[in-house]
Amino acid sequence: MFALISRLSTRELLYRQAPSLIGALAIAEIFYKWQSFLLEAGGFLLTWFVLDAVAGVIAKIIHIPPAADAGG
């Protein structure tokens, strides 16, 4: 987590990671009722990973450059 925050620019964190993070939080809050913090936290992190991977694939398909390379 520290590497994620320290290596990415603020712009990239906001435009790339924030939507995936918010989506994963919403999905976890609505659907994950496993009565175990460890399982729910793991499910949240896995959901965040999958949403971010899907967003990355979509960005490559429609040729959106990463926010760090977008000249800002």
Residue 46 domain-assigned? yes
Count of structural domains within the chain: 1
Contact 40, 28 (CB under 8 A): yes
Collect all residues with Cβ–Cβ distance below 8 Å to 25 and sequence separation of at least 6.
44
The pLDDT profile of the chain, 72 residues, written as one tens digit per residue, is 687 778 888 888 888 889 999 999 999 999 999 999 999 999 999 999 999 999 889 888 988 776 655 554
Residue 37 domain-assigned? yes
pLDDT for the residue 68 = 52
| Nearest Cα to Cα of residue 52 among 14, 16, 8, 7 | 16
Residue 57 domain-assigned? yes
Residue 44 domain-assigned? yes
Residue 14 domain-assigned? no
- Parent domain of 34: 28-62
pLDDT for the residue 60 = 87
Residue 23 domain-assigned? no
Residue 20 domain-assigned? no
pLDDT for the residue 13 = 83
